[in-house]
C-alpha cells in the first residue's frame, strides 16, 4: 500500500533540511519537497541532491519570480504599504504565493498534508497557514517547531549532524535569513540585543554600508504607468529585471538598510536588519509621482489606507476580500500616476531630483505668486478665510460672553 504524501515547503535551510527525516520518523509519510523560487539566487543550487539525500522522494523547484513581482510586490508598492513605518514587507508578501503553489502541488500529488518550517514564535506560521486554509481547508497542516523536542537552532544543528544531514550553516553563523528578489532579512545572534549596533560590513549581502558607497552621487530616472514602474533611464524593463537592476544600483550606494524593532503578529517584539535597496528606491519614486498626480483628499485617504493594507499583508491576510478590494481601489487611484521621477542615490540616501507627468495637477500659472490666472484671484481668499474660520470665531465669541477667554 502506497504511503500517504506530505508536501514540505523546502528552502534547503537548517529547519527544512532536518524536517525531512523528522517527518519520515514520526509520520512515515512520502515527503514531496517544494521550493518556491521567489528570488533566492544561488540558495537553490544543489537543492535536489540535498533534499533527496535527506529523504525526500521528489523535489519541485517552482520559478515564481515573475508572478511574485507582478502580482504581489507591485500591488503592495502601489498601495504605499509600509509596516510600522519602516518594513517594506519583503518576507510578508512572499509567503502567500508560496502557499498557493504548495496547495497546487498538494492537489497534483494527491497529498493529505502540507508541512512548513516556520517557528512557533514567528509570523510565517500564520502567513503560510492562512494561505493554505483560504485555498484548501481540507489539507492537514504540520508545523514541527510547535511539537518537536528541538528547542533552538543549536539543537537543530545537533540533530542534523546526528542524522548526517547537510546544512548551510554552522553554530558560528546562525543568523536566520530570508532572501528573495525584493529583500533579505537578518535576525538572531548579536541582533537579538537591540543595544548592539549591526556589524554591516560583515552582515550585508545585497550591497555595502553607506560609508563604503561611492563618494559621487548616481542619478537615475524611473518611469511609471498607472502606478507601476516600467522603465529605468528610458529603457523599458519587465517587472522582475527592473527590480533586479534597482537592487544592484541601490545596493552599490548603500541604499535600503533598515534596522527594525517590529511588533510581531504573535505579540512579541523582534529585531532584525533588512536590506531592500530596489524597494526603497521604488517607494520613494512612486510617492514623489503621486504628490504630483493625486489630489489632496485621495493622497490623505491613501496614506490612511496604506497602514491597513500593510497590516493585512503582514498578518498573512492576502487571500481575503478586504485585501482584494483594497487592491482594486488602489488600481483606480493610481490610474493617472504615470510619468517619470529622477532620483539621486548617495551614501545610503534616495533623494527626489524632479518629476514630470502628463497628468500632473501642478499648474505653474496658478501656483505662481502673480495674479494673472483667471482661475485664482488673491481677493477670493478673504471670503474663503472668513467661512473657513467661522467656527473658530463663533467659539471665541462664546468664550468671551461667558468669561472663559481669560
Topology agreement, domain 5-65+90-175 and domain 183-294+337-356 = no
3-state DSSP of 204-273? CCCCCCHHHCCCCCEEEEEEEECCEEEEECCEECCHHHHHHHHHHHHHHCCCCEEEEEEECCCCCEEEEE
At residue 342, the 3 state secondary structure works out as strand
Query: In which band, very low, low, confident or very high, does the pLDDT at 371 lie, cut at 50, 70 and 90?
Result: low
pLDDT band at residue 400 under the 50/70/90 scheme: very high
Mean pLDDT, residues 209-222: 97
The model's pLDDT over 313-353, given as tens digits with 9 standing for 90+, comes to 999 999 999 999 999 999 999 999 999 999 999 999 999 99
Annotated binding-site residues for L-aspartate read 119, 123-124
**Binding site for ATP, residues?**
9-17, 117
Cβ atoms within 10 Å, residue 122: 18
pLDDT, position 7 = 98
What is the structure's pLDDT at 83?
A: 97
Per-residue confidence at 396, pLDDT binned at 50, 70, 90? very high
Q: Which residues contact 55 (CB under 8 A, 6 or more apart)?
A: 20, 21, 24, 31
pLDDT surpassing 90 at residue 211: yes
- Which of 208-212, 299-303, 326-330, 361-365 bottoms out in mean pLDDT, i.e. has the lowest? 361-365
Taking alpha carbons only, the member of 374, 352, 180 closest to residue 275 is 180
Instruction: From the candidates 176, 177, 178, 271, give the one annotated as an active-site residue.
Output: 176
- 155: cell is 539543537
Q: How far apart are CA 27 and CA 31, in angstroms?
A: 10
Mean pLDDT value across residues 56-63? 96
152 is catalytic: no
Please report, for the chain, the start and end positions of each structural domain, with discontinuous segments joined by +: 5-65+90-175, 183-294+337-356, 368-401
Half-sphere exposure for 71 (CA within 13 Å, toward CB): 15
Read off the pLDDT of each residue in 117-129 and give the average, rounded to a whole number.
Answer: 93
Whole-angstrom CA distances from 109 to 4, 62, 117, 193, 378 are 10, 15, 20, 44, 72
Q: What is the pLDDT of residue 320?
A: 98
Band (372; pLDDT cuts 50, 70, 90): low
Residues 6+ away with beta carbon under 8 Å from 296: none
Please report, for residues 14, 88, 228, 314, 316, the alpha-carbon distance to residue 328 in angstroms, rounded to integers and kept in the order given. Answer: 39, 20, 14, 19, 18
Average pLDDT, the chain: 93
State the Rg of the chain over Cα.
26
The C-alpha atoms of residue 259 and residue 87 are separated, in whole angstroms, by 9
Within 13 Å, how many C-alpha atoms sit on residue 263's CB side?
7
- Active-site residue, selected from the candidate residues 30, 124, 178, 334: 124
How distant is the alpha carbon of residue 179 from its chain centre?
11
Out of 7-16, 92-101, 150-159, least confident range:
150-159
> Residues 95, 101, 179, 271: which is the catalytic one?
95
- pLDDT band for position 364 (50/70/90)? confident
The rounded percent of the chain whose pLDDT value lies above 70 is 97
Binding site listing: 9-17, 87, 92, 117, 119, 123-124, 127, 176, 185, 262, 274
Q: Assess whether 101 carries a catalytic annotation.
A: no
**CATH (one of 3.40.190.100, 3.40.50.1110, 1.10.510.10, 3.90.1260.10) for 183-294+337-356:** 3.90.1260.10
What is the dotted CATH code of the domain comprising 5-65+90-175?
3.40.50.620
The reported pLDDT for the residue numbered 171 is 62
Higher pLDDT, 155 or 330: 330
Residue 365 catalytic? no
* Binding site listing for L-citrulline: 87, 92, 123, 127, 176, 185, 262, 274
Say whether 238 is catalytic. Answer: no
pLDDT band for position 151 (50/70/90)?
Answer: confident
Query: Residue 393 above 80 pLDDT?
Result: yes
Q: Is the pLDDT of residue 12 over 90?
A: no
* Residue 366 clears pLDDT 80, i.e. is over it: no
Please tell me the distance from the alpha carbon of residue 367 to that of residue 178, in angstroms, as a whole number. Answer: 47
Average pLDDT of the residues in 180-209: 94
Amino acid at each position: 500500500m502506497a504511503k500517504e504524501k506530505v508536501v514540505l515547503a523546502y528552502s534547503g535551510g537548517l529547519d527544512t533540511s532536518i524536517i525531512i527525516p523528522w517527518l519520515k520518523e514520526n509520520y512515515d509519510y512520502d515527503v514531496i519537497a517544494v521550493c518556491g523560487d521567489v528570488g533566492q539566487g544561488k540558495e537553490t543550487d544543489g537543492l535536489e541532491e540535498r533534499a533527496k539525500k535527506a529523504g525526500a522522494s521528489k523535489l519541485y523547484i517552482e520559478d515564481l519570480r515573475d508572478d511574485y513581482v507582478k502580482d504581489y510586490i507591485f500591488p503592495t508598492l502601489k498601495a504605499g504599504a509600509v509596516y510600522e513605518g519602516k518594513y517594506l514587507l519583503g518576507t510578508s508578501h512572499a509567503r502567500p504565493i508560496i502557499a498557493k503553489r504548495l496547495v497546487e502541488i498538494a492537489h497534483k500529488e494527491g497529498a493529505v498534508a502540507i508541512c512548513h518550517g516556520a517557528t512557533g514564535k514567528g509570523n510565517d506560521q500564520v502567513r503560510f497557514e492562512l494561505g493554505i486554509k483560504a485555498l484548501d481547508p481540507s489539507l492537514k497542516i504540520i508545523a514541527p517547531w510547535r511539537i518537536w523536542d528541538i528547542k533552538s537552532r543549536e539543537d537543530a544543528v545537533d540533530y542534523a549532524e546526528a542524522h548526517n544531514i547537510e546544512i548551510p550553516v554552522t553554530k558560528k553563523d546562525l543568523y536566520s535569513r530570508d532572501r528573495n528578489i525584493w529583500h533579505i532579512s537578518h535576525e538572531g545572534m548579536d541582533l537579538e540585543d537591540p543595544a548592539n549596533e549591526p556589524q554591516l560590513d560583515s552582515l550585508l549581502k545585497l550591497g555595502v554600508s553607506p560609508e563604503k558607497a561611492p563618494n559621487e552621487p548616481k542619478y537615475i530616472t524611473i518611469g511609471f504607468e498607472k502606478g507601476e514602474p516600467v522603465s529605468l533611464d528610458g529603457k523599458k524593463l519587465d517587472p522582475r529585471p527592473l527590480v533586479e537592476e534597482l537592487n544592484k544600483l541601490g545596493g552599490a550606494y548603500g541604499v535600503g538598510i533598515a534596522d527594525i524593532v517590529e511588533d510581531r503578529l504573535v505579540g512579541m517584539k523582534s529585531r532584525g536588519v533588512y536590506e531592500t535597496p530596489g524597494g526603497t528606491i521604488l517607494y520613494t519614486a512612486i510617492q514623489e509621482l503621486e504628490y504630483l498626480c493625486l489630489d489632496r483628499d485621495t493622497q490623505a485617504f491613501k496614506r490612511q489606507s496604506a497602514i491597513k493594507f500593510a497590516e493585512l499583508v503582514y498578518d498573512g491576510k492576502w487571500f481575503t476580500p478586504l485585501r482584494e478590494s483594497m487592491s482594486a481601489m488602489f488600481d483606480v487611484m493610481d490610474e493617472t500616476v504615470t510619468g517619470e521621477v529622477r532620483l539621486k542615490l548617495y551614501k545610503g540616501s534616495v533623494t527626489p531630483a524632479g518629476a514630470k507627468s502628463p497628468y500632473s495637477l501642478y499648474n505653474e500659472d496658478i501656483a505662481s505668486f502673480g495674479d494673472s490666472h483667471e482661475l485664482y484671484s488673491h481677493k477670493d481668499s478673504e471670503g474663503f478665510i472668513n467661512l473657513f474660520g467661522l467656527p473658530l470665531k463663533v467659539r471665541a465669541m462664546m468664550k468671551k460672553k461667558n468669561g472663559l477667554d481669560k
